[in-house]
Amino acid sequence: MIGFSPISAIIGGALIGAAAGLLWIVNGRVAGISSIFGSALSRRVEDLPWRLLFLAGLPIGAAIGLAVAPRLIPDASAAMPVLNLDPLGLAASGLLVGAGTALARGCTSGHGVCGLARLSVRSMVAVLAFMAAAVVTVFIMRHGL
């Protein structure tokens, strides 16, 4: 395993941007995961094949990366704190994330990667709200109310 570095962050960001740009150029679609996932669950069948392929490609791509170069996959567990949340707390957290995604009409990938690249004011506001919520959450988790 290699550690995180500015170079790996730049390469990772460039690859994410290239993938989002390619989806936009080839398919005319924004790479917002919540929208892709939500629409894949809807009854609209005309857009279903590419959405299912996109969603299937996420774990398949990760598995290929792990099989080809396992030492390049960082061990994120060492960097993440252990949260002692009960299953009800985890379920509530998931529901709040889902509600926030619906309220913001998109997720961090849609707004942060694609929306900011298109200079969308709505995405700029959403990303600022995401960042503010993250700061408040970290403060509460570390210091309590």
Range 1-4 contact pairs with CB under 8 angstroms and sequence separation of 24 or more? 1/71, 1/72, 1/73, 1/74, 1/75, 2/71, 2/72, 2/74, 3/74, 4/74, 4/79
Average pLDDT over residues 1-14: 76
Average pLDDT over residues 87-91: 83
Output the pTM of the full model: 0.67
Q: Give the per-residue pLDDT at 143.
A: 87
Q: Give the Cα separation of 53 and 68 in Å (integer).
A: 21
Q: Taking 90 as the threshold, does the pLDDT of residue 33 lie above it?
A: no
Could you tell me if 36 and 52 are in contact, meaning their C-beta atoms sit under 8 angstroms apart? no
Q: Where are the domains of the chain?
A: 1-80, 81-145
Nearest to 23 by CA among 65, 58, 69: 58
How do residues 71-86 score in pLDDT, each as one tens digit?
777 766 666 666 677 8
